C-alpha cells in the first residue's frame, strides 16, 4: 500500500466514525425525548388529567418548578448548592483516596506475586461483606462526621479499583513484555513504559464501573447521622411524601453519576487513545 | 541448482557457530499430564545463515524460537549464542513477532527507538537511529503515527525496524508474515531478503510456507510432528540467486515437491495426534 492510498483509507475511517457518531448521538437524544414525552403524557403537565397521581409521579413541569424553588429557598435551612457540595465532597474525597491508593496497590499486586500473596487475600475476604452493614460500626469508630461517610463510600470502591488495576496489569499481552525484554529493557523500564500504559485502559474501566457503586454508597452513607447532603434530602423528603423534592434530588444524583462518568471518559479518551486497539 | 541434504547438527566451520543448540528438549506440564514439545534437538547456525524452520503445526517451532530468544527455559539441553549460554532475553537477539507486539501507546518512532533507549542511548540519539531504520523500511512519513493507524504490512515493517534498532547480529522471527495477504507478504519477503543481503545478519525464521522458506533461506530444516526433531535439513541455493523469476523455475518446483512430501507425512501424524488426546 502506498503512502497516498493509506492516507485515503485513514481519512475514510475518520469520516465514517464521525457520521456514525452523529447518528448515535441523534438516537441518544431521541431516547431522552421519548422518556420525557411519556412522562409528560402520563402526568398531564397541567394540560390534561394525569394518569398517575402527582403524589406518585409529579409532572416534569412541577419538578422543574420545585427545582427552581429549591434553588431560591434551599432545603431545611441550607441552600441546594450546600447539599450538592457536601455530597460531592464526601464522594470525591472517598474516590480520590481509592484511586490514589487503590491503583498503585493494584499495580503492585499485578507485578509482584509476593505482594499479591500478602495483599490480595484480605481484599478478597472483605469484598463479599455488604459494606452498608458496616456503617454502624464506622459510626462508632470514626464518629458521625464526614469521615465515617467517606469510609463507607470507599469500602466497596477501593477493592474494586485495586482488583481491576491488578487484572489490567496481568492481562498485558506476554508478547509485548517479551518484545520489550528482547529489546534490552530493564524491569523498571518494562513497568514504566509497558505495563503501566498498557493497563491504563483497564484501570479507567475499573474506575468508571465503580462510579455507580460510589453513588449508591453515597445514598447509604447519608441514611443516618447527618442533616445535609443530596441523598439525605431525598430520604427526608420521602418521609413527608414530597415527591417533587425526591425527584429533584434523584435527578441531581443521576446527573452527578452521569457527569462523573463522562468526565472520566473524557480524561480517558484524552490520555489513553489506544483503548481497545489490540 | 538444487537443494542438497546437509547435516546442521554440528558446527560446519572450525570456529564456534553463531547459534548452537545442544540436546534441547522441552516438556510442558499440565494437570492432565505433560506434553513433550521438543525432542532432544541439535542445531548449529553459522553467522550469516538464513535458516528457515518448517514443520507441521504444534511440532514445537515456536517453543524452539522462544527458548533461543530466552523467553522460556529448556527442560534439558542448552543454547549458546557466540559460545555463551543463553540465560534470558537479550538485546543481542532481535525478535519479530507475528502480530500484536507493537506498543500502541507509543508513536512508530518511539516504538523503534525503544531498543536504543533501553540500552542506554539518549532520547535524541535513539530517535535518530529509529528514523534511519524507518527510512530503511520506507515508513519515515509515518513516524508520528501510532501502530493501530497502520496496515498489517506496515506494522510488520515497524516490527522489523524495531528489532533491527539495537543492531543485533541475530534475528528471530516466528511466522512474521503469516497474517498478511499474499501481495504484502511478497513485498516484505523481498525487503527482508535485501536487508539480510546488505547486513549479513544471522536469521532464524519460522514459517509454514515452503515457498517462503525456499525463497529466503540458505538452510532449511524440516521438523517432525511433536515432539519436534529434525526430519531433514537442506542447504538451499535460491535465496542467493539473482534471477527474479527463480520461483517459477523447474528446480524451485522440484525442491518444493521434495519438502512438501516430507512435510505431508508429518502433518498427517500431527493430525492423528490431535484426534487422539
Ligand atoms: N505454554 C505451554 N503450555 C503447555 N503446552 C504448550 C505451551 N506452549 C506450547 N505447548 C504445546 O507444545 C507443542 C508445541 O507448540 P508450539 O511450539 O507452539 O508449536 P508450533 O509453533 O510448531 O505450532 C504444542 O502441542 C503445544 O500445544
Ligand atoms: Mg508457532
The CATH number of residue B268's host domain is 3.40.50.300
Report the distance separating Cα A182 and Cα A175, nearest Å: 10
Instruction: Name the residue at shortest CA distance from atom 12 of ligand 1.
Output: B37
CB within 8 Å: A182 and B104? no
Mutate to test the pocket of ligand 1, among B31, B63, B271 (most ligand atoms within 8 A of CB): B63
Q: Which residues in chain B are contacts of A176 at CB distance < 8 A?
A: 100-101, 103
Residue-averaged pLDDT of chain B: 92
Among all chains, which residue has been given the C-alpha cell 529493557?
A185
Of A219, A225, A68, nearest in space to A145 by CA:
A225
Instruction: Name the residue at shortest CA distance from atom 4 of ligand 1.
Output: B28
Report residue B92: phi and psi, to 5°: -80, -10
Last residue of a domain, one of B117, B147, B167: B167
CB within 8 Å: A193 and B114? yes
Report the distance separating Cα A157 and Cα A102, nearest Å: 9
pLDDT for the residue A9 = 45
Report the distance separating Cα B75 and Cα B65, nearest Å: 14
Which helix (H) or strand (E) segment holds residue B76: the answer is: strand B76-81
Over residues B256-263, mean pLDDT: 93
Same domain for B110 and B210?
Answer: no
Same domain for B241 and B150?
Answer: no
Last residue of a domain, one of B111, B141, B167: B167
Query: Would residue B18 count as lying in a domain?
Result: no
pLDDT at A1 over 70: no
For residue B113, what is the nearest residue in chain A, using CA coordinates? A183
CB within 8 Å: B97 and A1? no
Query: Would residue B236 count as lying in a domain?
Result: yes
Q: Which residues in chain A are contacts of B86 at CB distance < 8 A?
A: none
A209 or A48: which leads in pLDDT: A209
pLDDT for the residue B136 = 92
Same domain for B111 and B84?
Answer: no
Last residue of a domain, one of B125, B141, B167: B167
Query: Would residue B15 count as lying in a domain?
Result: no
Same domain for B258 and B180?
Answer: yes
* 3-state SS assignment for residue B271: helix
Same domain for B142 and B177?
Answer: no
Determine the residue among B87, B114, B169 to mutate to test chain A binding: the one whose Cβ has the most chain A Cβ atoms within 10 Å. Answer: B114
Partner residues linked to B174 by β-bridges: B206
B63: CA distance to ligand 2 center in Å?
A: 7
Number of structural domains in chain B: 2
pLDDT for the residue A52 = 82
A12-41 tens-digit pLDDT: 444 455 556 778 888 889 998 999 899 888
Same domain for B211 and B273?
Answer: yes
Asked if residue A110 lies in contact with residue A165, where contact means CB atoms within 8 angstroms, the answer is yes
Range of the domain at B108: 99-167
Residue-averaged pLDDT of chain A: 88
B60: CA distance to ligand 1 center in Å?
A: 6
For residue B89, what is the nearest residue in chain A, using CA coordinates? A182
Same domain for B133 and B256?
Answer: no
Report the distance separating Cα A47 and Cα A50, nearest Å: 9
Asked if residue B164 lies in contact with residue B93, where contact means CB atoms within 8 angstroms, the answer is no
Query: Would residue B219 count as lying in a domain?
Result: yes
Asked if residue A78 lies in contact with residue A228, where contact means CB atoms within 8 angstroms, the answer is yes
Determine the residue among A182, A186, A191, A273 to mutate to test chain B binding: the one whose Cβ has the most chain B Cβ atoms within 10 Å. Answer: A182
pLDDT at B176 over 90: yes
Express as a percent the part of chain A with pLDDT over 90: 56
pLDDT at A85 over 90: yes
Same domain for B109 and B80?
Answer: no
The reply to whether the predicted model has a pTM over 0.90 is no
**Residue B177: alpha-carbon gap to chain centroid:** 10
Q: Which residues in chain A are contacts of B165 at CB distance < 8 A?
A: 183
Amino acid at each position: 500500500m502506498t503512502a497516498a492510498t493509506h492516507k485515503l483509507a485513514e481519512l475514510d475511517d475518520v469520516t465514517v466514525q464521525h457520521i456514525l457518531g452523529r447518528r448515535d448521538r441523534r438516537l441518544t437524544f431521541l431516547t431522552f425525548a421519548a422518556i420525557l414525552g411519556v412522562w409528560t403524557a402520563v402526568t398531564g403537565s397541567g394540560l390534561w388529567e394525569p394518569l398517575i397521581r402527582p403524589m406518585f409521579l409529579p409532572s416534569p413541569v412541577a419538578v422543574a418548578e420545585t427545582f427552581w424553588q429549591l434553588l431560591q429557598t434551599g432545603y431545611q435551612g441550607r441552600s441546594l448548592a450546600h447539599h450538592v457540595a457536601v455530597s460531592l465532597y464526601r464522594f470525591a474525597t472517598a474516590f480520590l483516596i481509592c484511586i490514589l491508593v487503590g491503583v498503585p496497590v493494584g499495580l503492585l499486586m499485578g507485578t509482584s506475586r509476593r505482594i499479591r500473596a500478602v495483599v490480595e487475600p484480605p481484599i478478597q475476604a472483605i469484598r463479599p461483606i455488604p459494606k452498608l452493614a458496616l456503617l454502624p460500626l464506622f459510626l462508632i469508630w470514626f464518629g458521625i462526621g464526614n469521615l465515617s461517610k467517606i469510609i463507607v463510600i470507599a469500602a466497596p470502591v477501593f477493592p474494586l479499583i485495586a482488583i481491576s488495576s491488578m487484572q489490567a496489569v496481568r492481562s498485558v499481552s506476554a508478547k509485548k513484555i517479551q518484545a520489550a525484554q528482547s529489546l534490552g529493557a530493564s524491569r523498571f523500564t518494562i513497568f514504566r513504559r509497558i505495563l503501566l500504559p498498557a493497563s491504563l485502559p483497564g484501570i479507567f474501566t475499573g474506575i468508571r464501573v465503580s462510579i455507580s457503586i460510589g453513588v449508591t454508597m453515597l445514598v447509604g452513607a447519608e441514611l443516618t447521622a447527618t442533616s445535609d447532603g443530596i441523598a439525605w434530602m431525598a430520604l427526608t423528603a420521602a418521609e413527608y411524601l414530597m415527591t417533587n423534592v425526591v425527584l429533584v434530588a434523584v435527578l441531581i444524583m443521576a446527573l452527578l453519576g452521569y457527569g462523573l462518568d463522562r468526565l472520566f471518559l473524557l480524561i480517558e479518551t484524552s490520555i489513553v487513545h489506544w483503548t481497545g486497539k489490540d | 541448482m538444487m537443494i542438497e541434504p546437509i547435516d546442521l547438527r554440528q558446527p560446519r566451520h572450525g570456529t564456534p557457530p553463531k547459534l548452537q543448540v545442544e540436546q534441547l528438549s522441552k516438556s510442558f506440564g499440565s494437570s492432565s499430564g505433560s506434553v513433550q514439545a521438543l525432542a532432544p534437538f541439535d542445531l548449529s547456525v553459522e553467522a550469516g545463515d538464513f535458516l528457515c524452520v518448517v514443520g507441521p503445526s504444534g511440532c514445537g517451532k515456536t517453543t524452539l524460537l522462544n527458548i533461543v530468544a530466552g523467553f522460556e527455559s529448556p527442560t534439558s539441553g542448552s543454547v549458546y549464542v557466540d559460545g555463551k549460554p543463553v540465560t534470558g532475553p537479550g538485546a543481542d537477539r532481535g525478535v519479530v513477532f507475528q502480530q500484536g507486539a507493537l506498543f500502541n501507546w507509543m508513536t512508530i518512532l518511539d516504538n523503534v527507538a525503544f531498543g536504543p533507549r533501553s540500552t542506554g542511548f539518549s532520547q535524541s540519539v535513539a530517535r535518530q537511529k529509529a528514523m534511519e531504520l524507518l527510512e530503511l523500511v520506507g515508513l519515515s512519513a509515518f513516524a508520528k503515527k501510532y501502530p493501530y493507524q497502520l496496515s498489517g504490512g506496515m506494522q510488520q515493517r515497524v516490527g522489523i525496524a524495531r528489532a533491527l534498532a539495537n543492531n543485533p547480529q541475530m534475528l528471530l522471527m516466528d511466522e512474521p508474515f503469516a497474517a498478511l495477504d499474499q501481495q504484502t507478504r511478497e513485498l516484505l519477503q523481498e525487503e527482508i531478503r535485501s536487508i539480510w543481503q546488505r547486513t549479513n545478519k544471522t536469521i532464524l525464521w519460522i514459517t509454514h510456507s515452503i515457498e517462503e522458506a525456499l525463497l529466503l533461506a540458505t538452510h532449511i530444516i524440516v521438523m517432525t510432528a511433536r515432539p519436534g526433531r529434525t526430519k531433514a535439513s537442506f542447504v538451499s541455493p535460491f535465496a542467493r540467486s539473482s534471477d527474479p523469476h527463480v520461483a517459477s523455475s523447474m528446480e524451485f518446483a522440484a525442491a518444493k515437491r521434495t519438502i512438501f512430501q516430507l512435510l505431508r507425512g508429518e502433518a498427517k501424524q500431527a493430525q492423528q495426534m490431535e484426534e487422539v488426546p
